[in-house]
Amino acid sequence: MELYLDSVNLKEIASAIDIGIIAGLTTTPTFMHREGIEDVDSTIVELSKQVPILQIEALGRTSDEIIDEAYRQEALGLDRETTVYKIPMSMEGVKACKHLTNVGFKINLHLVYTLQQAYMAMEAGATYVCPLVGRLQDQGGDAIGLVQSMVGLTKEYGYKTKVMFSSVRTSQHVREALKSGAHTITVPWKILEKLTDHHLTEAHTEQFFKHN
C-alpha cells in the first residue's frame, strides 16, 4: 500500500521526506495560503522536485476551467509523470478527468462517498479514486465497507484506478486501510509519526538497554 503524507506544513513535509518511505505528497493551495505561504505556485513546483509524486488540486466549476487549471500548473513546470491533479467528483469533474487522462495527465477524482461515484471515476480513467473515510464515518456511513467495495470493483472489472484511503483520523484507520486492500493511503503527519509506536515496544526496548 502506497503511503502519502497529507500536509501543507513545510517542516512536516521535510520530516516525512527524510524518513525515506513516502510515495508522495497530497497538498492543497488553499490551505497553503492559510499556512502563510505567499508564493504558492513556486512552492508547489519546488515540492514537486522533492517527492516522487505530488498530488495537487486543479480547481474549477466547469470541465473547461478544470482542464485550463491543469494546463496552467503544467506550464509552471510540473511534470505529467510525477504530478496527479485532484478534481472534485461531479459530472464536470468526470468530463475533465476523461479529457485529461486521454492526453496523458494523471487524475485523482476525490470527495467520493458512494460506489457509483467510484464507478464513474474508474470509467473516466482516473488514476486514483479517493473516498474520505473519516468524513463519511462522521455521518454514520460504512466507510470501510465502501473502500472494500471500491477495491472489489478494480478486481472484478479490471480497472487500473487505485483506491486512496483518505480523511485519516487515527492509527486504527491505517490498520483498516491495510485490511480493506486499499492501494494507497494519505495520512497527516500527526498520524504518520505515531505508526511505529506501541507501549510494549517502548517497554521492551527499555528492558533491552537496561540489560546491555
Where in the sequence numbering do the catalytic residues fall? 86
φ, ψ of residue 183 to 5 degrees: the values are -80, -25
Give the whole-angstrom CA distance, residue 116 versus residue 133: 16
Going by the DSSP 8-state scheme, the letter that residue 161 receives in this structure is P
Give the whole-angstrom CA distance, residue 110 versus residue 93: 10
Phi/psi region, residue 111 (left: phi>0; alpha: psi -120 to 50; beta: rest), is left
Residue 112 parent element (H or E) = strand 106-112
What would the DSSP string read from start to end of 53-80? Answer: -EEEE---SSHHHHHHHHHHHHHHT--T
Cell (9 digits) for 48 = 514537486
Segments in the chain forming alpha helices (H): 10-19, 29-34, 40-48, 63-76, 91-102, 115-123, 133-138, 143-157, 171-180, 189-192, 199-210
